[in-house]
Structure 1
Amino acid sequence: MKLIAYVASAVTVLAIGVASVMLTRTDAAPSVAYTLLDGSKHRTDQWRGQVVLVNFWATSCSTCIKEMPQIAATHDMFKARGYETLAVAMSYDPPAYVINFAETRRLPFRVAMDHDGLIARSFGNVQLTPTSVLINKRGDIVKRYVGEPDFAELHALIDKLLAET
């Protein structure tokens, strides 16, 4: 009987420990190279000190198209304070469609093609669009949105993250 009590107690302590680690753990943004539509090469490591929204999207995704003006407005609202946006077009999206979309809508932020799917895999094997990942100044992923985010909530979180030192 004592053995069962000890095992139950140990399991409870272990479960509480695991739960607390899972609730407080932040994942670092992956270190990955990407190429912008203009051909320039960059790395996610260069984002330190900035708050960054990485938006995975596709020209064939109606929700992506619908949210894009708000993604652009969010970028314009916060860019002067150290906020950056990277729109990552999914590997199945034809490059000509992505270029046409970015140019005709005059997207005010960086756009990358994920030709081989490496960026999407690096950010947790993103398959659904839109998926957006918000990264703080230290390079930690603080929020993941699958589908269109609540932009009021997103703006409040960006504002809070930009205020942190």
Structure 2
Amino acid sequence: MQETSTSSRAWIKPVLAAVVIAAIGLGGYVALSKRETAPAVTFLSIKGDKIAPESLRGKVVMVNFWATSCTTCVAEMPKMVDTYNKFKADGLEFVAVAMSYDPPNYVLNYAETRQLPFKVALDTDGSAAKAYGNVAMTPTTFVIGKDGKILKRYLGEPDFPALHKLLAESLRG
């Protein structure tokens, strides 16, 4: 009698193991698919204007951390300008945030001589870079959806065709 009882319960361990594995997998999927909310940072533009988080709500926003001393940043900037010009009519907002070590007069000179068409901000105390996850490497670009969640973080120059596809989909939705 004991033998039958044990063999009839033999299925419990494999089923429990499968349930535990499925729960771990589901937890991992939920954790990975859960998008982070962009930090509520008020940027200070090179013109002295405050760019408040409220002014960016409900919009697709690109936040690009860069420096005038960063060769990759300088090389990608014309493509960033083209990207902004391509999508601004659809509602894209763009804030180019100069790193704390970048001299403000260099940033101002760069923005004026290149006629950057988007908002350029100074992060003189490094608080914006810290709020965005301790950004240290430039360029680092964040794409933020209308819901305020970070859709994508690019370290280095983005894959521009993929970025354009993401922006087109996000601006439509």
Asked if structure 2 preserves the Cα contact closer than 8 Å seen for 1:50 and 1:82, the reply is yes
Residue 97 of structure 1 corresponds to 106
Quick one: distance in 2 between partners of 1:144 and 1:118? 18
Shift of 1:7: 7.8
Question: Which AA in structure 2 matches 1:136?
Answer: G
Structure 2 residue matching 1:108: 3-state secondary structure: coil
Residue 78 of structure 2 corresponds to 69
Residue 129 of structure 2 corresponds to 120
Structure 2 residue matching 1:28: 3-state secondary structure: coil
* Runs of 4+, deviation exceeding 6 Å: 1-7
Shift of 1:42: 2.0
Shift of 1:24: 1.8
1:56-84 CA distances to partner (integer Å, 9 max, x unpaired)? 00011000000000000110111011101
Question: Which AA in structure 1 matches 2:106?
Answer: Y
Which ranges of structure 1 fall in alignment gaps of 5 or more residues? none
Q: Does 2:120 match 1:111?
A: yes
Question: Which AA in structure 2 matches 1:110?
Answer: K
Quick one: distance in 2 between partners of 1:137 and 1:155? 16
Residue 95 of structure 2 corresponds to 86
Asked if structure 2 preserves the Cα contact closer than 8 Å seen for 1:32 and 1:45, the reply is no
Question: Which AA in structure 1 matches 2:28?
Answer: A
Residue 4 of structure 2 corresponds to none
Shift of 1:147: 0.4
CA RMSD of aligned residues (A): 1.8
Which structure has more strand as a fraction of its residues? 1
Shift of 1:9: 5.2
Which ranges of structure 2 fall in alignment gaps of 5 or more residues? 1-9
Q: Does 2:38 match 1:29?
A: yes
TM-score by length of 2: 0.88
Residue 139 of structure 1 corresponds to 148
Quick one: distance in 1 between partners of 2:165 and 2:18? 41
Structure 2 residue matching 1:39: 3-state secondary structure: coil
Shift of 1:33: 1.2
Residue 154 of structure 1 corresponds to 163
Q: Which has the larger radius of gyration?
A: 2
Larger deviation, residues 140-149 vs 17-26: 17-26
Shift of 1:34: 1.2
Shift of 1:17: 2.7
Residue 47 of structure 2 corresponds to 38
Quick one: distance in 2 between partners of 1:11 and 1:104? 60
Residue 55 of structure 1 corresponds to 64
1:4-58 CA distances to partner (integer Å, 9 max, x unpaired)? 8688556524421321112320111111111101101122232122111100000
